[in-house]
Amino acid sequence: MSGGDKLDFEIRPNPAPVSATDRAALLANPGFGRVFTDHMVTIRYADGKGWYDARVEARGPIPMDPASAVLHYAQEIFEGMKAYRATDGGVTMFRPYANATRFNRSAARMAMPALPEQTFVDSLHRLIEIDREWIPEGDEGSLYLRPFMFASEVFLGVRPANEYLYVVIASPVGAYFAGGVKPVTVWVSPDYTRAAPGGTGAAKCGGNYAASLAAQAEAAEHGCEQVVFLDAVERRYVDELGGMNVFFVYDDGSVATPPLTGTILPGITRESVLTLATAAGHRVEERPVSFADWQADAVSGRLREVFACGTAAVITPIGQVRFPNGEFSIGGGEPGTVTMALRQQLADLQRGKAADPHNWVHRVL
For residue range 52-66, list pLDDT tens digits in order: 999 999 999 999 999
Domain boundaries, position 291:
184-351
Radius of gyration of the chain (CA): 21
Segment 122-141 mean pLDDT = 95
Segment 251-258 mean pLDDT = 98
Q: Give the span between the Cα atoms of 75 and 206, in whole angstroms.
A: 9
Domain for residue 17, yes or no?
Answer: yes
- Categorize the per-residue pLDDT at 177 as very low, low, confident or very high, splitting at 50, 70 and 90: low
pLDDT at position 180: 61
- pLDDT digits 0-9 by tens, 301-353: 999 999 999 998 889 999 999 999 999 999 877 889 999 999 999 999 988 88
Q: Are residues 198 and 301 in the same domain?
A: yes
Residue 1 has pLDDT above 70, yes or no: no
Q: Give the span between the Cα atoms of 36 and 173, in whole angstroms.
A: 9
17-21, 87-91, 221-225: least confident range: 87-91
Q: Are residues 18 and 162 in the same domain?
A: yes
Q: Are residues 218 and 169 in the same domain?
A: no
Provide the domain count of the chain. 2
Q: What is residue 237's DSSP assignment?
A: B
Q: Are residues 100 and 190 in the same domain?
A: no
Segment 78-105 mean pLDDT = 96
CATH number at residue 158: 3.30.470.10
- Categorize the per-residue pLDDT at 3 as very low, low, confident or very high, splitting at 50, 70 and 90: very low
Q: Are residues 51 and 124 in the same domain?
A: yes
Domain for residue 361, yes or no?
Answer: no
Domain for residue 360, yes or no?
Answer: no
CATH number at residue 230: 3.20.10.10
pLDDT at position 2: 40
Q: What is residue 354's DSSP assignment?
A: S
pLDDT at position 321: 98
Q: Give the span between the Cα atoms of 331 and 73, in whole angstroms.
A: 45
Domain for residue 95, yes or no?
Answer: yes
Mean pLDDT (the chain, rounded): 95
Q: Are residues 196 and 144 in the same domain?
A: no
Following DSSP, what letter does each residue of 50-116 receive, concatenated?
EEEEEEEEE--PPP--TTBHHHHH--EEE--EEEEE-TTS-EEEE-HHHHHHHHHHHHHHTT-PPPP
pLDDT at position 181: 74
Cβ-in-10-Å burial (0-12, 13-18, 19+) of 65 comes to exposed
Segment 282-287 mean pLDDT = 98
Q: What percentage of the chain reaches a pLDDT higher than 90? A: 90
Segment 221-234 mean pLDDT = 96
Residue 4 has pLDDT above 70, yes or no: no
